[in-house]
Chains A and B, each alone.
Chain A
Amino acid sequence: MTTEQYPKVYLYRRIVQAKLYIDKNYSEKIDLDNISDEAHFSKFHFIRLFKSIYGKTPHQYLTKVRIEKAKQLLEQGNMISAVCNLVGYDSLSTFSGLFTKAVGKSPNQYASDFRQRKKNIQEKPLAFVPKCYAFMHGWSENSNFEEVKK
């Protein structure tokens, strides 16, 4: 079986393109009706196919992408209100609620925990590396980890 011969390759390509569209445009006001139109599917058929491939509806997948991106933005030190807008939400309470439900902690707590971990890494980088690897690399408490301090 070659690439072009597997069943319904054109369907797969259209669904994958829709998924990649969400990956790229998560920060915009994505209208899932438009995506299904562009993929030349009825909305119902699109949702059914998308879920059969990715295990989530397009809307659930969009939320997942936005939350993952929000985690990255919080790790970079962005304000929560800015992160909310940057991942496509107008309402801070909606964003915070979805984030907390998905991650198990609030955006504020997530950012705080990340900052603390980063501080701990800067202070004791070797504590985050298995000792066997540190030994193999010749990393020791006396090593110069100047780059970590940045």
Chain B
Amino acid sequence: MISKMTITNIHVIDQDSAYDFYVNKLGFKLVDDIPMGPGTRWLTVSPPDQPDLQLVLFPVRVSKMFPKEVAESLIDLIKKGVFGCGVLTCKDIFATYEELKAKGVEFIKAPTKEFYGTEALFKDDSGNYFSLQPINNFDNENNI
């Protein structure tokens, strides 16, 4: 039986920029930033209240994992905003929206009341997007 998610990837275009976005703007906690050789870092962050989940800020570049054409296609799709990376929850969506907006985060949807609750959408520095929702969107027993 699977017990929990421990590590997941966010494919990013530039690790320095991603560090600034996730740590300084979103307020995620830096877990590890370990140089692994020229131009390569093991860079992971965690949501502030979820230290046991690490997001690997995984650079897309030509490598053993990504042949040239794959890396180029992936970067293109990320920049186009094709990839949704999940739902981030907060105590108060309006305050979080105002704070992130003040820090320069680009929203593609302001807090909007949907049939499933209030939701906003924002992009990271690479082009990946996240849904932002108040934690009580998930409190409803009908969601379970």
Contacts and interface: CB of A to CB of B under 8 A. Distances in A.
A13 B101 CA distance: 11
Interface residues of A, number: 34
Nearest to A143: B37
Contacts, number: 78
B14 interface: no
A50 to B, nearest CB: 10
A54 B37 contact: no
Given A128-B34, A137-B36, A147-B38, A13 B91 contact: no
Contacts of A16: 95, 98-99, 102
Contact of B34 (A13, A55, A125): A125
Chain B interface size, under 10 / 10 to 19 / 20 to 34 / 35 or more: 20 to 34
Interface in A117-150: 121, 125, 128-130, 133, 136-139, 143-148, 150
Interface stretch (A2-10, A39-47, A85-93, A100-108): A2-10
Given A13-B98, A20-B99, A138-B64, A2 B110 contact: yes
Interface of A: 1-3, 6-7, 9, 12-13, 15-17, 19-20, 52-55, 121, 125, 128-130, 133, 136-139, 143-148, 150
Contacts of A54: 91-92, 95
Given A1-B112, A3-B110, A121 B91 contact: no
B34 A148 contact: yes
B42 interface: yes
B35 A133 contact: no
- The 4 lowest CB-CB distance pairs between A and B, nearest first, are A147-B35, A3-B110, A16-B98, A53-B95
Contacts of A137: 36, 40, 63-65
Contacts of B37: 139, 143-147
B24 to A, nearest CB: 10
A-side binding surface: helix, strand, loop or mixed? Answer: helix
B130 interface: no
Interface in B104-143: 110-113
A141 to B, nearest CB: 12
Nearest to A19: B99
A70 to B, nearest CB: 15
A122 B38 CA distance: 15
A6 to B, nearest CB: 5
Interface string B18-38: 000000000000001011111
Given A6-B111, A137-B63, A12 B98 contact: yes
Contacts of B111: 1, 3, 6
B83 interface: no
12 contacts: A1-B110, A3-B97, A6-B111, A16-B98, A54-B91, A125-B34, A133-B42, A133-B56, A136-B64, A145-B36, A145-B37, A147-B37
